[in-house]
Structure 1
Amino acid sequence: MVGVKWPIAAVLDVVMILVFAAIGRASHHEASPVLDACGTAWPFLAGAAAGWVLVLAVRREPPIALVASWPVWLLTVGVGMAVRHVTGRGVAVSFVIVATLFLGLFMMGWRAIALLLARRRTATA
Structure 2
Amino acid sequence: MIDIVLVIVFALVGRSSHAEAASLTGLWTTAYPFLAGWLVGSLVVRSWRHPLRLWPTGVVVWVLTVAVGMLLRVLTGQGNVDGNPLPLSFVIVATVVLGIFLLGWRAIVGAVVRRRTRD
| TM-score, normalising length: structure 2 | 0.86
For 1:99, which of 73, 76, 94 is the aligned residue? Answer: 94
What amino acid sits opposite 1:84 in the alignment?
A: R
Q: How far 1:62 sits from its partner (Å)?
A: 4.3
For 1:82, which of 65, 71, 77 is the aligned residue? Answer: 71
For structure 1, which runs of at least 5 residues remain unmatched after alignment?
Answer: 1-10
For structure 2, which runs of at least 5 residues remain unmatched after alignment?
Answer: 80-85
Once residues 60 and 112 of structure 1 are traced to their aligned partners in structure 2, the CA distance between those partners, rounded to angstroms, is: 16
Match of 2:112 in 1: 117
What amino acid sits opposite 2:45 in the alignment?
A: V
Q: How far 1:63 sits from its partner (Å)?
A: 4.1
CA-to-aligned-CA distance 1:56-86 (integer Å, 9 cap, x gap): 2xx9934431112211100000000000000
* Map 1:23-102 → 2, pairs under 5 A: 23-56=13-46, 61-69=49-57, 70-90=59-79, 91-102=86-97
Q: How far 1:28 sits from its partner (Å)?
A: 1.2
Once residues 43 and 68 of structure 1 are traced to their aligned partners in structure 2, the CA distance between those partners, rounded to angstroms, is: 22
Which is helix-richer, 1 or 2? Answer: 1
Once residues 31 and 61 of structure 1 are traced to their aligned partners in structure 2, the CA distance between those partners, rounded to angstroms, is: 38
Provide the aligned C-alpha RMSD in A: 1.7
User: Quick check: 1:26–1:33 contact (8 Å CA) kept in 2?
Assistant: no
User: Quick check: 1:47–1:79 contact (8 Å CA) kept in 2?
Assistant: yes
What amino acid sits opposite 1:44 in the alignment?
A: F
Note closer, same or farther for the CA distance 1:95–1:25 as it changes in structure 2 (3 Å cut): same
How many aligned residue pairs are there? 112
What amino acid sits opposite 1:77 in the alignment?
A: V
